[in-house]
Chain A
Amino acid sequence: MRTRAFALRKCFVSILCAGVAALCCGSASAAPSLFSVSSSSTRAVALESVSMRAEPFSLNGAANFFPADPRTRITVFCMNLDFLQGEGASSLTADAEDAAHNLYPLKVEYVGTVPSFDGVYMVVLRLNDSMTSNLGDVLLRLNLHGAASNRVRLAIGTIGGGPADDSAPNPAPATPPGAATPLTVAQYQAQYNNPAFASDSDLRRFLEQASWGGRGDDVDFSHLRAIGIPAYINEQFNMPPQFIDASTDPKFSLASNYPFSQSYPQFYPGSPAPPCDSSTTCFRDNYTLYPLQKQFMLNALTQPDQLRQRVSFAVHKFIVVGGQQLNGNQPFWFSPYLQTIDRNSFGNFRNMLFEVTLNPGMGEYLNMRGNSVVSQSNPTPNENYAREVMQLFSIGVDTLNQDGTPVLDAQGNRVPSYDQTAITNLARVFTGWDLDTNKSISLDGGVTQTSAANYQDPMVPNNNRNRYDIGQKTLLTDVNHGTPVVVPACANCTTGTSAQQLANTQAYAITSLGTAIDNLFNHPNTGPFLCIQMIHQLVTSNPSPAYVGRCAAAFANNGSGARGDMRAVITTILLDPEARGDVKTDPNYGHLREPVLLMTSLLRAFNATDTSKTDGVLVSNSPSNFSNTMGQNIFNPPTVFSYFSADFGLPGTNLVGPEFGNLDTSTSYARANFMNTLFLQNTGVPGIPTGTNRPVGTKIDYSALQALATTPQQLVDALNTRLMHGTMSAQMSASIFATVNAISSGDPGGRTRTAIYLVASSSQYQVER
C-alpha cells in the first residue's frame, strides 16, 4: 500500500497545487480539515486511488489492483492533522453517512504528507462493504484524537442526493500550512505541566474520567486549575487510602478504602438477628454486602483519593469476584479481595495478578482453592481459574498487536492466544493451594469463642501432598521467551522424609506459581489487553489503535525500564490527546455512564449532603437498590464476565459499547426514575421512611443553581458547564430553556429541579463525551 501510495501522490501533486494556489483559507483548528473543491461546494477533493478517476465512485475498483480485495480506495486531502510523533493511519477514523443516515465506518489505510506541501495530507480510505452500489452522495468525516473534521461530499454510484450539508465549503488555503513538527508523547504531556494550558472543559472532563465526578462546590476543579493535571495525578498517586492498619495481622498489610472486617462463622449465631444499630453481630452487617456497598458509596462521595477508587473499580470489573457467590455475601469473605485491588491499583500489575490469584475469595469463586489432581497420571485438575485468568484477567482470547488490534492469519481469521492444552497445563500449576489456618474469633464481647474459615490471609500450599501436580507443564511464550515457558517437573518432591517431601512440594508449588504469573504478566498481550479495559472504563469505548498502543508502550516500559507500572499506564491514558483537548466532536467518542458512575457523578455534582447516610440515597436499607434496578448490583456482578460484557457490541454498528450491555427498556426507565427520586421527589419533604435501621436519605443541594433560576438561560448554561463540560448542543439548550421558562418564575426550585432532571436524564449527559 505504502509504495503504491507514494507513487500515486506524485501524480496528485500537480492537481493539488492548482487547488492550493487558487483557493483560500480555513481557520486554524485542532480538528482535521478536509478539502472541498471550491468555496461554493462541499464536494470533496477526492480521487479513486488506483485509477485516479473522479467521482462518482464504484464500489469495486475498475483497475482491480487487489484481486483478493477489489473494494475501491478513495484518496482525499486535508490539513490540520495534529499527529504525535510516529502517528499515522491507525490514529484516524473515518465515516460516511448516506441519505438514510446510515453511518459507514471507512478503514483508513494510509496517510502521508504531500511532497512540497508538508502540512497537507493525503488519506486513503477503503469503501465499506455494506455500502450499496447506487448510494448517491455521502458525507465524509475524519476523526483524530476525538476531534471530527468538517464533512465533505462524495458520490457513490451516482452524484446527488445524500444528507444535507452540515459544514461550510472548505477549499484548500491559498497559503498551505508548513511542515508540522509533531510532539512526542512526553512533549504532549509536558504541555499540561502549565496549569493554564488546559481549557476549563478539558479539566472538567478530566474529573469525569479520574474521579467519581466533579464536585458541585468546585473544590476539586479549582485545585486542578491551580496545580495542573500532572501534579494532580501525582498527588492522587501519593494520597494514602483511608484505612492503614498493619497491626491487625502481620501477614496482611491493609492499605485500602475498606476497613478490616471481623471474621464471622459461616452461619449466623443465634436468632433472631439483633438490630444493627445496637449490635455488631447483626445479620445485615455480617452476612450481606451492605457494609461494603455502603462503604463504596461513602468513599466515592467523600474520600479524596478519587483516582485510586476509579482505577480499583475498573480493575474489579475485569478481575471479578462476585460477592453473591461467596457464602451468602459474607463481607469478610469479600473485603480482602477489594483490599487486594486497592493496594495494587497504583502498584505493579504483576503483583496485582499474583495477589489476586492467592486471594481466598478468588480461590473460592473460581475454584483454585482446594484444586487438586485426581492422580499424577490423570491429573484433570479444575480448569476454571486457569481459563478465566487468561481470558479475562490478563491476555484475552486473541493474539493482539501492541495497538490492541487482533493479529490475523492468512485467511483473515483471528489467532487464538492459547488453546485447551495451555489451559490444562496452567490448571495443573494451580493445584495444591487452599485456605490458611482458621481464624480464632471472639463474638459478643468475648462471650463466644469460635473459629472461622480464613478468608483474610492469602491462600497457602496445602499440607496434603497428593493434591499437587508435580509433573512438567508447558506454558506460553512471552516477551522474555521465544519458546513456551516450561515449568519443569519437581526434582525433589518424592525424595527424603515425608516432611521433606511436603516441604519440597510446597516450595515447588510456590516457585511454579511465580513462573506462571510471570508468564502471563510478560505475555505480549497483557499490556494492550489491560489498556483496552482501562481506557474503556475511564475514557472511551472505541479508542483508536494508536491510543491503545501508547498505553501499551507505557505498560511495557514506564520510562525507567519497568514493565507493568500501573502509574505509568494510568498517566498515559489520562494525558493522551485522545483523552485530553477541548470538546470532543468525534461522533463515536465517549462511553455510556454505567449506573454506579451515573449515581456518583450526580451526587457529587450536587453536593450530596448527610453523607453519613449515603446509603439512604436509595431510601431503603438496601444500598444497592437503585443501582441494582439500573442493572448494576454493586459487588454482585452476575458472572465472572462482570456486570456487562467488556466487548458488548452496539447493535447495528461495529462499535463497542460495554455499558450498553445492561441498558434496556426497563433500565432506561430505571435511570430516569432515579433522576426523579433524586431531583424531583427527594426534596426533603416529610414522609421518607425513617427508623433506627432505616437510613433517611441523602439530599442534594442545588441552591447555587437555583440562584440563577430567574434567568433560565443562565441556569441551562451552568448545567451545560457543570454536567456536560460545554458539549450541550444549541437545540438541546433551547429545548430545555423553553420548558424551564414556561415554569413560573415564582417557582425557582421547580425550574431548577426540572432543568437538572432534563439534563441528567438525557442521553446526551448519560453518554459521557
Chain B
Amino acid sequence: MKRSRREFLRDTGCGLTAAAIVSSLDRLSIVSAMVQQQPEVAADYKALVCVFFNGGSDCNNMVVSLDQFSSYSAARGDCSTPGATPNLGLAQSMLVPINPVSGGHFGLHPNFSPEVANPAQLAGLLGPWNQGKLAILCNYGSLLQPTTKAQYQSNAGGAFRPYQLFSHSDQINQQMSSIVKTTGQTGWGGRIADNTGSLNGVTVLPMNVSVSGTNLFETGVTSRQLAIGTGQLQTVLNLNWNGPASATPFTNGSSFRQLLGFDTGRALIKTSSDTMNQALSADQTLNQPDPMLTATFPGTSIGNQLKQVAKLIKIKDTLGMKRQIFFCQIGGFDTHTNETSADPTVPNGAGGQGNLLTQFSQAARAFYDEMGAQGNSNSVTLFTLSDFGRTFQASGSGAGSVGSDHAWGSHGFIMGGAVLGGTFYGAYPTLDVNGPDDDGGKRGRWIPTTSIDQYGATLAQWYGLPANLLTTVFPNLSKFATQSLGFLG
C-alpha cells in the first residue's frame, strides 16, 4: 500500500513549482514572511555550518601553548606516563606543532590530525591549517561587556557576570543565543535567518537545517528549522501509509492535513501541527537522488551529519537555496573523568576527548575536501561552538584517568576557503591559576577576551547580514569595540 514519492507528487498535482507549494502552506509564518519581503535574491551561495561540541570541550588540551608548556605540564601532568598524578596533560612529543602567523609556538591535540602520529588514520585538520584555511579563535565566551579579573570579582552593578556561568544548559543557551544576561528564547542563527531570508528568495525549505535535532541556535523569532536525520535523502523523511487509499495523508485536503489547520489558537497544538506541516512540505523537496560525493566521510555520527550537509550543499541549485545555515553536533565532551588516554595517537574509549576530536577532525576534513571537490570551498564556512571551556586544573584525583570541571572561555575553530587561517584570533590565555585570565577561583577558569557576539557577528557579516542589522541579531554587540574579528575574507 505504501505509495511511491513519484505517485504522490503526481497525484498531488503540484507541478512542483515553488510558488504552488508555497501557496498551499500559508499557515507557515516563515513562508509568508518571505513572500512579503519582496526578496532580492543573492547571486552567490553561502553557507554556515555549526558544529557544536556538546558538554564543554576542554580547550586547554585542544591547543597547548608550547611557550607556556612548563606551566601546562606542572598543572596537568602527563597522561603518557603510567601512574602520573594528575594525568590530564598531553606530553609535548604528542602534540602537533603549529606556528601561527599571529606569533608564538603551539601544539594541537594529536587527535586534531590523527594521521601525523599514525599514517594509517584518516587525515585531520593539519592540512587545512597549513593551507591557511583553518583559523583558531582563542578564549572566546559569553560576556556582558569586556571584563577584567577585578571587574569579574566585584561584579559591580551585576554588570560583569553572565547569567549562570559554568552551567551546561545555561551556557549552551548563551552560545546559541548570544543572550548572556538571561535565558535566550531565540538563537543567533535563527535571528540571522529572520533578517536575511530575502537572500534566498522564495524557497520551500527554510534557511536553517539541522541534521542533529531541534536546537535553539537555529530558532528565530519567525524562522524555524528543518530537522532531518542522516542517510539517503529520498528516505530521510518518509511518511508511511497502509490505510485505505481514500484517506491518504498525501492528498491536500485530506482529513490528516485538515486537522493540522484546526485549533491553531492553542499554542502547543499549533507548534505540533506546524512541525508536521513543515515535514510534509520538505518531504517533497528533499525527494532527490543522493548526489555522488568525492570525499570519503568516516562512518561516525558527526561524519554522517557532515556528509548529509555536503549532499545538501551539492544539490543547492536543485533545492533553490542561496543561503543556508546548518547545525551538527557531537556529544560527550563533559569529561569530568577519563578525559585523556595513555596514547592519544590511538583514539581512546568512549567519552575521552581524544576520541571525540578524532571523530570531529576526520569528519571536518572530509567535509573540507568535499567542498573543495564541489568547488564550494569559498562559499562554505564551518565553525565550532561548545558550552564552555574546562578548568585548567584537574578535577579531583583517583585511580583512573582524571578530567576537568566546567569553566568559561574556550577556543573556536573556523575552517573554509574564505577563512584567513593559519593564525590565531583573540588572545590566548596565560596558563596560570593565579594569573590575569583566571576568574579568581584559582582553578584556571579563563575569563574570555572575545565575546560570542563578536564571533557570531564576524560570521554573520560574511554571510550577508547587513551592517545595520548586526545589533538586531546581536543585541549585546555594541558593548565591544571590534565587530568583525577579521577571520573571514
Q: Which residues of A contact B (CB under 8 A)?
A: 97, 101, 103, 325, 366-367, 370-374, 380-384, 387, 391, 397, 409, 411, 413-414, 416, 420-421, 423-424, 431, 467, 541, 587-588, 590-592, 631, 638-639, 641, 645, 647, 649-655, 657, 660-669, 672-673, 676-677, 680-681, 729, 731-732, 735-736, 738-740, 742-743, 747, 750, 753-754, 757-758, 761-764, 766-767, 769
Contact = CB atoms under 8 A, between A and B. Distances in A.
A732 B247 CA distance: 15
B395 A661 contact: no
A757 B183 CA distance: 38
Nearest to B223: A651
A588 B268 contact: yes
Interface stretch (B63-71, B117-125, B237-245): B237-245
Nearest to A654: B185
Contacts of B166: 387, 420, 423
A680 B242 contact: yes
A387 B399 CA distance: 22
A729 B395 CA distance: 57
Contacts of A650: 267-268, 271
Nearest to A462: B398
A673 B344 CA distance: 43
Contacts of B273: 763
Contacts of A742: 246-247
Given A374-B85, A647-B169, A763-B268, 4 more contacts: A590-B268, A639-B334, A743-B247, A764-B263
A767 B247 contact: no
Contact of B266 (A391, A641, A767): A767
Given A374-B396, A639-B54, A383 B405 contact: yes
User: Can you list the 9 inter-chain pairs with the closest CB atoms, starting with the nearest?
Assistant: A664-B227, A763-B272, A382-B396, A739-B255, A680-B242, A384-B336, A382-B395, A383-B405, A763-B273
Nearest to A412: B182
A672 B249 contact: yes
A664 B275 contact: yes
Nearest to A664: B227
A668 B272 contact: yes
A672 B405 contact: no
B86 A374 contact: yes
B337 A382 contact: yes
A669 B213 contact: no
Nearest to B85: A374
B319 interface: no
B405 A767 contact: no
B262 A665 contact: no
Contact of B247 (A664, A668, A669, A754): A754
Contacts of A591: 268
A668 B399 CA distance: 46
A648 to B, nearest CB: 8
Interface stretch (B92-100, B276-284, B480-488): B276-284
Interface of B: 29, 54-55, 85-86, 157-158, 163-170, 181-183, 185-186, 210, 213-214, 216, 219, 221-222, 224-229, 236-244, 246-247, 249, 254-256, 258-260, 262-273, 275-276, 278-279, 282-283, 331, 334, 336-337, 351, 393-400, 402-403, 405-406, 441, 443
Contacts of B85: 374
A416 B397 CA distance: 29
A420 B275 contact: no
Nearest to B257: A735
Nearest to B402: A382
A380 B395 contact: yes
A657 B271 contact: yes
A394 B53 CA distance: 27
B397 to A, nearest CB: 5
Contacts of B260: 763
Contact of A657 (B163, B181, B268, B400): B268
A664 B214 contact: yes
B331 to A, nearest CB: 6
Given A731-B262, A739-B246, A660 B271 contact: yes
A460 to B, nearest CB: 16
A411 B247 CA distance: 57
A666 B331 contact: no
Given A672-B276, A743-B247, A763-B260, A372 B398 contact: yes
15 contacts: A372-B396, A373-B397, A420-B165, A639-B168, A645-B169, A647-B183, A653-B271, A669-B239, A669-B279, A735-B262, A743-B246, A761-B256, A763-B260, A763-B268, A763-B276
Given A732-B262, A763-B259, A681 B240 contact: yes
Interface residues of chain B: helix, strand, loop or mixed (majority): loop
Given A413-B181, A664-B275, A672-B249, A739 B268 contact: no
Contacts of B259: 732, 735-736, 758, 762-764
B240 A673 contact: yes
Contacts of A743: 244, 246-247
A514 to B, nearest CB: 22
Nearest to B168: A641
A680 B182 contact: no
B371 to A, nearest CB: 25
Contacts of B182: 413-414
Given A420-B441, A754-B244, A370 B398 contact: yes
A641 B255 contact: no
B288 to A, nearest CB: 16
A738 B247 contact: no
Nearest to B271: A650
A643 B363 CA distance: 26
Contacts of B398: 370-372, 467
B242 A384 contact: no
A641 B170 CA distance: 11
Contacts of B255: 735-736, 738-739, 758
Contacts of B258: 735
Contacts of A680: 241-243
Contacts of A541: 268
Residue in B238, B246, B268, B402 with the greatest tally of chain A CB atoms within 10 Å: B268
A409 B229 CA distance: 43
Nearest to A166: B265
A639 to B, nearest CB: 7
A371 B394 CA distance: 12
Given A413-B158, A761-B256, A663 B169 contact: no
Contacts of A639: 54-55, 168, 331, 334
B243 A753 contact: yes
Contacts of B247: 739-740, 742-743, 754, 758
Given A380-B393, A413-B182, A747-B244, A663 B272 contact: yes
Given A665-B278, A669-B239, A754-B243, A588 B266 contact: yes
A195 B466 CA distance: 65
A766 B405 contact: no
B239 to A, nearest CB: 5
A191 B424 CA distance: 70
Given A666-B229, A735-B255, A97 B399 contact: no
Contacts of A325: 351
A666 B227 contact: yes
Contact of A97 (B55, B265, B336): B265
Given A413-B181, A639-B55, A729-B262, A374 B239 contact: no
A425 B344 CA distance: 33
A367 B213 contact: no
Given A372-B396, A416-B164, A672-B239, A664 B268 contact: no
Given A681-B240, A764-B262, A668 B267 contact: no
A669 B238 contact: yes
Contact of A676 (B186, B225, B240): B240
Nearest to A587: B266
Nearest to A392: B169
Contacts of A411: 157-158
A738 B276 CA distance: 22
A572 B207 CA distance: 46
A664 B266 contact: no
